[in-house]
Copies of this chain bind each other. A is one copy, B any other.
Amino acid sequence: MSKDIKKVVLAYSGGLDTSVILKWIALTYNCEVVTLTADLGQEEDLDGVDAKALATGASRAYVEDLREEFARDFIFPMMRANAVYEGRYLLGTSIARPLIAKRLVEIAHEEGAQAIAHGATGKGNDQVRFELAAMALDPKLKMIAPWREWNFRSRTDLTNFASQHGIPLPVAASRKLYSMDRNMLHCSFEGGELEDPWNEPLEGSYIMAVPVEQAPDTPEYIELEYLHGDPVALNGEKLSPAAMLKALNTLGGKHGIGRLDMVENRFVGIKSRGVYETPGGTIMHIAHRDLEGICLDRESMHLRDSLITRYSECVYNGFWFAPEREALQKLIDETQRNVTGTVRVKLYKGNVVPVGRKSPFSLYRADLATFEEDEVYNQADAAGFIRLQGLRLLGYKK
């Protein structure tokens, strides 16, 4: 163990695992531990979490509300890119990690700490995301990842250590069936019956959204107003980024929207199966794509579309604070300059259906699209257009 580590900043949730980690680091590294508990909209009561950290041995416990920063500087830029990992996953967990890492590094600087620590396991993506973000922001800071370091080999080892050191165990009833991660964008579920990809997820995997079967029998229409690619008003009411997402989560959750069950490819080379709930994010994603239909030029859109895979890899793999993600963001934000307008969306039984869209920058012109005559489009032009398009195919049959 490095002698140089005198103070560590730990990402602390208040749960059993990070409590054990807190104590384990203090004992193993013989150092001071400062904790950070961030409110990212996980809808957990954070009252008392600082007291718990201090009781478990922390020298200082930060509890911070980062919801607006999370929505504005992380989720919204990512949604402007229409980011989707492997065609389906809206990256709810991935996008939270760089923000937490950023605050860990900032607090390390304020506190004069030499290392940061997290509770992510050695087989997952989150360890990579935390550590790459931290390396980018301050390569001199050391990383402590207890799951890769200690000798605990089972849950029982953990609970034994907890009992030994007076860390309160969760009551049996509250024990989670799944390994979960929740924030204002989504909730993820792994483990349990999901480990067999042939099993249908059980009812315990619903938290943010009702099962579609239980959603109302009456559709609900909303109007979502966008400015430069970001949603800014709902049904005429201006909302901050975090308030917007919260409101859309309520709507989406009520209508059973945004549920996903998939096997995905982790960055560390493993396939894993997860269930995701992204109610508000799904509404945002679909409405945004729809508004682009009238606001975005064809080639800008296709160019951007061809880069979604790459951008999503950046987010998923933990390269948020990375020059390639930033370069892509410049391109994407340039395409969003005129993505301003309103989408009318019908929500019903898991369906998000854009039924109307309008924009002061609309490039749609009804007179051009109909097959009637108009002032701009000369149908005879099409003959020349087609002939020159086809010229290079003359040798096709060779």
Partner of A330, one of B137, B309, B330: B330
Interface size class of A (residues with CB under 8 A): 35 or more
Verify A390–B131 contact, CB threshold 8 A: yes
Complex: how many Å from CA A1 to CA B266? 30
Partner of A369, one of B154, B271, B334, B394: B271
Q: How far is the CB of A226 from chain B (nearest CB, A)?
A: 15
Q: A319 and B299 in contact (CB under 8 A), knowing A148-B380, A326-B334? A: yes
Interface residues of A in 153-190 (CB under 8 A from B): 153-154, 179, 190
Cβ of A123 < 8 Å from any Cβ of B?
A: yes
Contacts of A369 in B (CB 8 A): 123, 190, 195, 266, 270-273
Verify A331–B322 contact, CB threshold 8 A: no
Verify A358–B197 contact, CB threshold 8 A: yes
Query: Among the listed stretches A4-12, A31-39, A47-55, A370-378, which one makes contact with chain B, having 4 or more residues with CB under 8 Å of it?
Result: A370-378
Q: A364 and B263 in contact (CB under 8 A), knowing A270-B391, A349-B351? A: yes
Interface residues of A in 346-393 (CB under 8 A from B): 346, 348-351, 353-358, 361-366, 368-373, 376-393
Verify B273–A299 contact, CB threshold 8 A: no
Verify B382–A148 contact, CB threshold 8 A: yes
Contacts of A290 in B (CB 8 A): 262-263
Contacts of A213 in B (CB 8 A): 219, 348
Verify A334–B327 contact, CB threshold 8 A: yes
Contacts of A122 in B (CB 8 A): 371, 379-380, 382-383
Verify B261–A377 contact, CB threshold 8 A: no
Verify B87–A136 contact, CB threshold 8 A: no
Verify B310–A306 contact, CB threshold 8 A: yes
Cβ of A395 < 8 Å from any Cβ of B?
A: yes
Query: Among the listed stretches A21-29, A59-67, A198-206, A242-250, which one makes contact with chain B, having 4 or more residues with CB under 8 Å of it?
Result: A198-206
Cβ of A294 < 8 Å from any Cβ of B?
A: yes
Complex: how many Å from CA A136 to CA B361? 16
- The 8 A CB mask of A123-160 against B (1 = contact, 0 = none) is 11001100110011111000101011000011000000
Cβ of A233 < 8 Å from any Cβ of B?
A: no
Closest chain B residue, CB of each to CB of A153: B373
Q: A389 and B269 in contact (CB under 8 A), knowing A136-B397, A378-B384? A: yes
Q: How far is the CB of A376 from chain B (nearest CB, A)?
A: 7
Chosen A-B contacts, 8 in total, with CB atoms closer than 8 Å, are: A148-B383, A199-B356, A200-B344, A213-B219, A268-B391, A270-B368, A297-B322, A323-B396
Interface, chain A (partner B; CB < 8 A): 82, 86-88, 121-124, 127-128, 131-132, 135-139, 143, 145, 147-148, 153-154, 179, 190-191, 195-201, 212-213, 219, 259, 261-266, 268-273, 289-290, 293-294, 297-306, 309-310, 313, 317-319, 321-324, 326-328, 330-335, 338, 344, 346, 348-351, 353-358, 361-366, 368-373, 376-398
Please name the 9 residue pairs, one residue from A and one from B, whose CB atoms are nearest each other, closest first: A122-B379, A384-B384, A269-B391, A381-B384, A265-B298, A263-B293, A135-B390, A331-B331, A299-B324
Besides A195-B370, A303-B328, 14 new A-B residue pairs in contact (Cβ under 8 A), listed by A number: A124-B371, A127-B382, A136-B396, A139-B390, A147-B371, A153-B373, A198-B357, A321-B396, A322-B393, A323-B335, A327-B331, A327-B332, A327-B334, A383-B384
